[in-house]
Amino acid sequence: MFVKPFRYERAESLAHACELLRSAEGYAKVIAGGQSLLPLMNLGLLELDLLIDISRVDDRSSGLEDGYITLGAGLRHGDLLLGSPVMDRQPLIPAAAAWIGSSRIRNRGTLGGSLAHSDPSAELPLVMTALGAEYTLTNGTSERTVSADEFHVSYFTSALEEDELLASVRVPVLGPGWGWGFAEVARRKGDFALASAAALARVADGRVVEARLALGGVHERPMRFGAVESAISGATADELGARVGPIEGLAPVSDTSASAEHRAHLARVLAVRALTDAVRRGEAA
């Protein structure tokens, strides 16, 4: 496949990248790790007039402030895995990042790229939805904050305006009494998920006080499932399987990897698995 010739610019700052997006003649996109964009271009599914490289200016820092973790959009998936004082405070993120592709993909792919790409099967949009993350978007002159839930609109569609970039992400640290769980089924290790579940549970006296459940790969975007969260209130870890029935509101699709029915079945199994892990960890917390 021949890729249509395009112009390449290396941005000197995020503001410069936004300016280039605004003033571009034709279709322009930024490239960060290139692990989603380049396959699309190589397969002829995406033709660009201008490619703007932000890989030297995106923010790769992480920090802790007032009970929240701040993550720069330029952090590589591999950075999210490392046992560090920051990542250890929200273990759901490293647990999910470990499922992404291979080490080659994790060394190049970025947090911002994965979230902006908004693949409903991807791990990072899923955990950010479960955690109620806030994303900071910039157009170079002003910033706005949107929740993960507002940001991930549909298949490969986000709330980003054409001249906006994702700059950073803010998530709460894992609170006292809270446990976490992440479960996924893929055809091979490193493949995209057929279905996945990210869960958090606050536990007291062995029973669920509060829970958060988000599912991936079974809807046009990662989504919380409030009915399941309510249904398990007061349950012990052993009672979860009986409390979680068939999950309402799924919209899985059939493709060459799995049928919609199989994905819906997996969603329930993985929800119970992730919630059980979350409750058991919450008991021990």
Q: Which is nearer to ligand FAD, 60 or 265 (CB)?
A: 60
Measure the CA dihedral 184/189/194/196, to 10°.
20
4, with CB counted inside 10 A (0-12, 13-18, 19+), is exposed
Beta carbons of 21 and 28 less than 8 angstroms apart: yes
The three-state DSSP-derived secondary structure of 129-163 is: HHHCCEEEEECCCCEEEEEHHHHEEECCEECCCCC
Q: Is 260 helix (H, G, I), strand (E, B) or coil?
A: helix
Residue 105, interface with ligand FAD (CB under 6 A)? yes
Q: How far is CA 182 from CA 72, 189, 258, in A?
A: 23, 15, 20
DSSP state of 40: H
> In the set 69, 80, 116, 258, which binds ligand FAD (CB under 6 A)?
116
In this chain, which stretch among 25-33, 83-91, 197-205, 233-241 interacts with ligand FAD, using CB under 6 A? 25-33
* Residue 160 CB, nearest approach to ligand FAD (Å): 6
In this chain, which stretch among 36-44, 86-94, 236-244, 247-255 interacts with ligand FAD, using CB under 6 A? 36-44
> In the set 73, 80, 274, 278, which binds ligand FAD (CB under 6 A)?
73
Residue 135, interface with ligand FAD (CB under 6 A)? no
> In the set 192, 202, 203, 228, which binds ligand FAD (CB under 6 A)?
192
In this chain, which stretch among 1-9, 158-166, 198-206, 273-281 interacts with ligand FAD, using CB under 6 A? 158-166
* Dihedrals phi, psi of 154, to nearest 5 degrees: -165, -170
Q: Is 49 helix (H, G, I), strand (E, B) or coil?
A: coil
Which parts of 159-178 interact with ligand FAD (CB under 6 A)? 160, 165-166
Q: What share of the chain is helix, strand, coil (3-state, %, to 5)?
A: 35, 30, 40
In this chain, which stretch among 107-115, 201-209, 221-229, 274-282 interacts with ligand FAD, using CB under 6 A? 107-115
Interface size with ligand FAD, residues (CB under 6 A): 30
Q: Which is nearer to ligand FAD, 100 or 232 (CB)?
A: 100
Residue 35, interface with ligand FAD (CB under 6 A)? yes
Q: Which is nearer to ligand FAD, 161 or 238 (CB)?
A: 161
> In the set 48, 86, 95, 113, which binds ligand FAD (CB under 6 A)?
113
> In the set 11, 18, 21, 122, which binds ligand FAD (CB under 6 A)?
122
**Radius of gyration of the chain from Cα atoms?**
19
Query: Could you tell me which of 92, 81, 72 has the C-alpha nearest to residue 170?
Result: 72
Interface residues toward ligand FAD, by CB under 6 A: 29-37, 39, 58, 73, 100-101, 105, 108-110, 112-114, 116-117, 122-123, 160, 165-166, 190, 192
